[in-house]
Chain A
Amino acid sequence: MGTFLAPVFEPGFFDSSAVNVALVVGAVVAMVSAPVGVFTVIRGQSFAGHAFSDVSTTGGSGAFLVGVNPIWGFVVMGLAATSAMEMIGVQRARSRDVATGIVLGGALGLSALFLYLDATSSSTTGASITVLFGSIFVIDHSTAVITALCALAVLATIVPIYRMLLLSSLDSDIAASRGVPVRLVGVCYLAATSLAVALSAITIGAILSTALLIGPAATALRLTRRPGAAIVTAGLVGIGATWLGILLAYDSFYWPPAGRGWPVSFFVVVLIFVFYLISGAHRPRRRPEPMTPGVPGGV
């Protein structure tokens, strides 16, 4: 196999421990993002899904300032943002957008302050760039283990409420009339999303975290209408894009300008976007469905 695939896999691809950790962490993040992302797309809460990755920047820089493990900053800020959005009114379709926006604006303001104080106290101007763009190749083993544990926590939140969450995402009125605690389920979903997004943001950067959350799920929902199949497809698309992106980034070390390498985020994002565009050509078979009246500022 080595000689056959030599032009594809540059020397040392499977021997490098950084690459191995990147492959494993990338797969874990893609697998967790799949179920959370499918629900995010169905519920129309992509904005919240993205906002959590920016909010985690605040948590990371704040934790750095106080001097505790960044993980705690991410978790605390994620849960604080969840409850703030819930208080402003994220559960209603009309005010969801503004609720997310106000929380995001406040968090970004705090983030500006923390990064400024970090920079003056220890001259790490690059902190904002590291958090925003991240790098999947510089993950140490302890972070990888914590990521995996938190991935389990997210799945443990989603799996027990799967059916209730699905029903309330598709039609909250029917769910409420059948006795589903819609609001509680919504909060659980939001908390799981904040945890999933924050942890993928610290390991692979905010851009990739949003891309892996929304892209594969949106692609999968264009290919199939069945939620279970969509989650599996989204996971496969996410893992495929991540691994191919890591491979291309590793190979790009020999591309011009020589000896620098192109960023993984770029490759993964472009691959996900290409998958999404290709999936648009395929239309799932479905029964003809009456058009629904448009809503002012609908979701």
Chain B
Amino acid sequence: MFSSFMIDTWMAASMAAVIAGVVGYFAVMRSSAFAAHAVPLGAFAGAAGASLIGVSTILGLGVFAVGGAVGIGWLGRRGHRDVATALALVVLLGLGSLFLSLSTEYAPEIYSLLFGEVLGVSTSELVPLAGLGIVTIAVVAVYYRPLLLTSVLSDVAEARGARPFRLEMVFLVILALATTMTVPVVGAFLMFSLMIAPAAAARLLTARPSLAMVLSVLIALAMAWAAVAASYESQWPVGFFVGTLGVVSYGLARAWSTVHRGGRGRVIQASSSRTEAKASAARSSSSRRWAADTWVRMRAFPRGTTG
């Protein structure tokens, strides 16, 4: 299991897990799980196009990932963000089906791009992987505070001068970079599981952002390592183990948080977004939160609320 050709696999899986853990935390906090699913799957169409015109797969993935991310951000400026994501996804996949029908010998490679081929990583693939990984982490580090603030308290962020559209674009480009790097190794479907499940579990375990991000990375690493080991032993696809372990880790975190919070009584959850906004402002003990709420109300009702 630790022979020389497996060393590359372990390194590739570890790098993918670290990136997925960091980027996934923002995806979960921003409720962007759909984008985290759509960008890798849409980028897969770029790989098909790259093989059709004979350029490198990474280039095709990168162009389609960034293009898809920008398209999602641009279409989602006004109106429903989930509709924008769905439309961008189907347009990219429609192009993918065209590329596939025009090219001839591609079938086995599709399976590996969708479900990953961790057990066949070569040393030459590790260098671009590490390079893009460092770039992704660097961009996250630069935008860490504004990204976190818009993700958690968008009202406060806007009141303090953050530009939500620009930060949404930054997040989507980070997602696209992470996708380009990891899809050839872990596959479009698995990248999604590796991003969402650890971050969702970490958020249940702690409310502190930095700790949650560290936990998210650790859970992703544990999932990736266990999946590679299990896949090596059983010969079953690594995607199956990643998907199953994701569900298991989220279930465990959910059980832990239920037991842990059991004695303190649960906060009643608001069912609609407007109620939620009012309730979270009313529950908050932060003066900044109230100031932001007042600011939003003044902007929404410039002539006053009493008529």
Query: A: which residues have CB within 8 A of B?
Result: 41, 44-47, 49-51, 88, 91-94, 96-98, 100-102, 104-113, 115-116, 119, 125-126, 128-129, 132-133, 171-173, 176, 182, 205, 207-208, 210-211, 214-215, 218, 222, 257, 260-263, 265-266, 268-270, 272-273, 276, 290-299
Contacts and interface: CB of A to CB of B under 8 A. Distances in A.
18 contacts: A44-B80, A46-B86, A47-B33, A47-B86, A98-B196, A105-B246, A109-B247, A112-B240, A172-B272, A207-B90, A210-B89, A263-B101, A273-B90, A291-B299, A291-B300, A293-B293, A294-B154, A295-B154
Given A97-B31, A171-B272, A116 B86 contact: no
B182 interface: no
A109 B250 CA distance: 15
Tell me the dominant secondary structure on chain A's binding face.
helix
A102 B250 contact: yes
Contacts, number: 237
A167 B92 CA distance: 34
A166 to B, nearest CB: 15
A273 B197 CA distance: 31
Contact of A293 (B102, B155, B247, B272): B155
Interface in B178-193: 189-190, 192-193
Contacts of B200: 98, 101-102
Contact of B193 (A88, A93, A94, A105): A105
Closest 7 CB pairs of A and B: A109-B243, A269-B94, A112-B239, A105-B193, A101-B33, A297-B31, A113-B240
A296 B240 contact: no
Contact of A116 (B32, B240, B300): B240
B300 A92 contact: no
Interface of B: 28-34, 36-37, 79-80, 82-83, 85-87, 89-91, 93-95, 97-98, 100-102, 107-108, 110-111, 114-115, 151-155, 158, 164, 189-190, 192-193, 196-197, 200, 236-237, 239-244, 246-247, 250, 254, 269-277, 280, 293, 296-297, 299-301
B37 A104 contact: yes
B243 A106 contact: yes
Given A128-B111, A207-B93, A263-B101, A100 B273 contact: no
A265 B97 contact: yes
A116 B114 CA distance: 12
A269 B98 CA distance: 11
A253 B273 CA distance: 49
Nearest to B31: A297
A92 B82 CA distance: 16
A270 B79 CA distance: 20
A108 B193 contact: yes
A182 B269 CA distance: 14
Contact of A173 (B236, B237, B272): B272
Contacts of B297: 293
Contacts of A257: 102
A46 B93 CA distance: 16
A101 B247 contact: no
Contacts of A269: 90-91, 93-94
Given A263-B97, A269-B93, A276-B87, A47 B271 contact: no
Contact of A46 (B31, B82, B94, B100): B82
Contact of A92 (B151, B241, B269): B269
Contacts of B152: 296
Nearest to A168: B271
Nearest to B293: A293
Nearest to B203: A98
B83 A46 contact: yes
A292 B301 CA distance: 9
Nearest to A120: B235
B84 to A, nearest CB: 9
B17 to A, nearest CB: 14
A87 to B, nearest CB: 10
Nearest to B106: A129
A109 B274 contact: no
A268 B236 CA distance: 36
A110 B97 contact: no
A293 B240 contact: no
A214 B31 contact: no
A36 to B, nearest CB: 14
Given A98-B196, A125-B108, A297-B30, A292 B100 contact: no
B137 to A, nearest CB: 23
Contacts of A291: 299-300
A293 B32 contact: no
Contact of B86 (A50, A106, A128): A50
Nearest to B247: A106
Contacts of A182: 271
Contacts of A88: 254
A218 B271 CA distance: 23
Contacts of B190: 108-109, 112
A104 B196 CA distance: 10
Centre residue among A45, A94, A106, A126 by max chain B CB count within 10 A: A106
A294 B155 contact: yes
A267 B243 CA distance: 33
A133 B32 CA distance: 25
Given A102-B197, A182-B271, A263-B97, A109 B241 contact: yes
Contacts of B97: 133, 205, 207, 263, 265-266
